[in-house]
Amino acid sequence: MHGIARRHRYRATQVCVAVGYTSSRNDVGDILYNSSGQPDIPLRPPQNLTAVGQRRTYHQKCGRARRWWHALGFILQLDNPNLPDGFGLYTHLDVPAYRTFQELRIAALNRSIAGLPASRIRMHVCWGAHKGPHNTDIPLKDIVDLMLDVQVEAYSVEAANPRHAHEWHLWEHVKLPAGKILIPGVVGHDSDTIEHPELVAERICNYASVVGRDHVIAGTDCGFGTSRLHPTIAHLKLQALVEGARLASQKLWGRSEVSA
């Protein structure tokens, strides 16, 4: 269709090798020095590669990198938009076939973090950072069990996007495993509109009502740096998130304190 950007698939053509460790080691001191509390580092999981051999090599490299970052005191965030968003890329797969396709990748991901404490790992999933209609997105209900199979403590999920804002109701029927945390997106990355703090608070309280107030952390739908938001708008959205979280805390705990 004229005017619609084509979606491209990429694959590795050579054996994956780890690069940039010298730079990483030089930078990590600055990150730790300038961080308050526990810093976190986002890492790309192996299931985004196509061939089994490519995934195996990449997962071995990732496993070593994750252990290195973990040993330095970082909380690891596995950025895994491919779990939901891949459904729009592999258009020849129906939902059952797509689930089978992702099961292998979830197994590879779990293998790459084996031995690391789940309490120090979170995973982010979303339906892509692109601005589009999203009318062909796979529903969260069709992959939520696959998401929960990943052995992490917290799951960051796109939830402010109008196509998925209703999916908090899913947790009325799906039980969040004991000790796990949801990080729903309560401000979006695909619109320049600044969410009202009352709406942010309402979204937080909706999730708290179905999974428990102690199992919710307010988040963003996706990284603002990938969505072409102007920095001023991104800052205002984060300000709305903080103000909304403060309102939600007042409603849920009777207090206004919000952790930075």
Phi/psi at 75 (5° precision): -90, 125
Domains of the chain, with CATH numbers? 39-253 (3.20.20.210)
**pLDDT above 70: residue 65:** no
Percent of the chain predicted with pLDDT > 90: 59
In tens, the pLDDT along 155-201 reads 999 999 999 999 999 999 999 999 999 999 999 998 899 999 999 99
Find all residues with CB under 8 Å of 213, minimum gap 6, and list them: 252, 253
Rounded CA-CA distance 41/135 in Å is 31
In tens, the pLDDT along 106-150 reads 999 999 889 889 999 999 999 988 778 999 999 999 999 999 999
pTM, two decimals, is: 0.80
* Contact between residue 237 and residue 192 where contact means Cβ atoms under 8 Å apart: no
pLDDT score at 5: 42
Q: Where are the beta strands (DSSP E) in the chain?
A: 40-43, 75-79, 121-125, 154-157, 181-187, 219-220
Per the model's pLDDT, the better-predicted residue between 128 and 60 turns out to be: 128
Q: List the structure tokens of 152.
A: 């992490």
In tens, the pLDDT along 216-229 reads 999 999 988 766 78
* Contact between residue 98 and residue 36 where contact means Cβ atoms under 8 Å apart: no
